[in-house]
Amino acid sequence: MENTFFVLALIATVAVAIILLFGIGTFTRGGDFNRRNANKIMRWRLAAQFVAVILITAFVMIRGYGG
C-alpha cells in the first residue's frame, strides 16, 4: 500500500509540474488563448496541487504509522 501512495503522489506531482509549465508557457506567449484560459489553467493547477498534497500526506502518515 505504501508503494501505491508513493506512485500516485509522484504522478500527481508530475501533473502539477506539467500544468505549471504549460501555464507559464501560455503566459509568456500572451495572446487571446492566454486571456481566455489563464484562470482555468490556474484552477487546474490548484486542484492537482491539492490532490498531490493529500496523497503525499497520506503516504507519510501510512509510512510513519506502519514502520
Task: Give tens-digit pLDDT for 36-60.
Answer: 999 999 999 999 999 999 999 988 8
Tell me the average pLDDT across 27-41.
Answer: 91
pLDDT for res 67:
52
Find out whether 9 and 2 touch, Cβ atoms under 8 Å: no
pLDDT at 64: 81
Q: Is the dihedral of CA 33, 49, 17, 11 positive or negative?
A: negative
Q: Which three cell numbers stand for residue 50?
A: 491539492
Local confidence band at 30 (pLDDT 50, 70, 90 cut-offs)? confident
Rounded to the nearest angstrom, the gap between the alpha carbon of residue 31 and the centroid of all alpha carbons in its chain is 25
Of the candidates 64, 57, 53, which has an alpha carbon nearest to the alpha carbon of residue 16? 53
pLDDT at 5: 82
- Per-residue pLDDT tens over the stretch 10-23: 999 999 999 999 99
